[in-house]
Amino acid sequence: MDTHYFQHKGICFASLLYSQERLQYLENEFHVRDDDVYLVSYPKSGTTWMIEILSLICRNGDVTWCREVPNFMRIPWLDVGGIGVKLVDEVHSPRFLASHLPIHCFPKSLFSSKAKIIYIARSPKDVLVSLYHYAHMSYLMKKPSSFDELMEDFLQGRVPFGSWFDHIKGWMQMKDKKNFLLVTYEDLKQDQRGTIKKICTFLENELEEQAVDLVLEHSSFNSMKKNNMSNNTMVPDYIMDTKNNQFMRKGIIGDWKNHFTQEQKEYMDSIYHEKMKAIDVKFSWD
């Protein structure tokens, strides 16, 4: 199947699930509620993991919901058209919604609301590696002919949801607002308990230690990989080929070391330093 992209506000979107009409509606007409929570990320940054964590926090660690309902129905994708629109329309308040939208495409009503935003970020090198494997299973991405080709497209922002650099720099404009929480994939890997507690505090939903234990247990890579409601095998075949590929691939920090040549590392580092020099946030991968 051929993958087609269209451009919206300088960003590339896959026609299979996204449309100009929906994006325009979202930006200008979608009403953000004060009690909404938005999980925002650049693709391959740990969104599915965070959907699981938030689902479990909402249920006090009880895994029943996560075992019975697919993740895209528990926390629907705001941006997706077609069937996704119905899921967003039907979700009850307080709504938890996921989105890959860059800040300049996000519903304008967010910026005058008290809605909470959890932004999950991941080292761009690991994002790129994850994206490379994802491109071979998803019909939302054009198949790159080589890792080098995808690296160039990624660095130039010629991939769905645009440039990683612009995405993170855009959303970091909100970093000092009290309704914004930055979490990294690396924080979650290195201190999952501490990071979950931070998320609970942000959501004003403190959990007992035993409930935190359950969130930890059921959102682990191995638990999620075994759970068909969480490992994306419920995603329709026309979107993703999960028969021959695993969405829950490795789930580690630093897999880029198994994919990058020294030359590619130096090239990406030089572009990273150039594009990120003006940002006053220190990330764990810096």
Residues making contact with ligand PPS (CB under 6 A)? 41, 43-49, 126, 130, 133-134, 219-221, 224, 248-251, 255
Residue 92 among the catalytic residues:
no
**Closest approach of ligand PPS to the CB of residue 55, in Å:** 12
Out of 4, 8, 31, 100, the active site residue is 100
Q: Which is nearer to ligand PPS, 69 or 109 (CB)?
A: 69
Radius of gyration of the chain (CA): 18
**Closest approach of ligand PPS to the CB of residue 110, in Å:** 20
* Token pair listed for 70: 């697919």
Residue 182 neighbours by CB under 8 Å, 6+ apart: 119, 121, 172, 175, 281
CB < 8 Å & 24+ apart, contacts of 261-265: 264/147, 264/148, 264/151, 265/125
Q: Which is nearer to ligand PPS, 55 or 130 (CB)?
A: 130
**Closest approach of ligand PPS to the CB of residue 213, in Å:** 16
Q: Which is nearer to ligand PPS, 25 or 221 (CB)?
A: 221
CA atoms within 13 A on the CB side of 192: 17
The rounded distance, in Å, linking the Cα atoms of 159 and 79 is 16
Cis status of the peptide bond prior to 144, with omega within 30 of 0: no
Q: Which is nearer to ligand PPS, 70 or 251 (CB)?
A: 251
Residue closest to ligand PPS, measured at CB = 251
What's the distance, Cα to Cα, between the start and end of the chain in Å? 38
**Closest approach of ligand PPS to the CB of residue 173, in Å:** 21
Q: Is 64 exposed, middle or buried (0-12, 13-18, 19+ CB in 10 A)?
A: exposed
Residue 125 burial (CB count, 10 A): 21
Residue 35 burial (CB count, 10 A): 12
Pairing type for strands 116-121 and 11-14 reads: unpaired
**Closest approach of ligand PPS to the CB of residue 149, in Å:** 19
Q: Which is nearer to ligand PPS, 60 or 220 (CB)?
A: 220
Catalytic residue list: 100
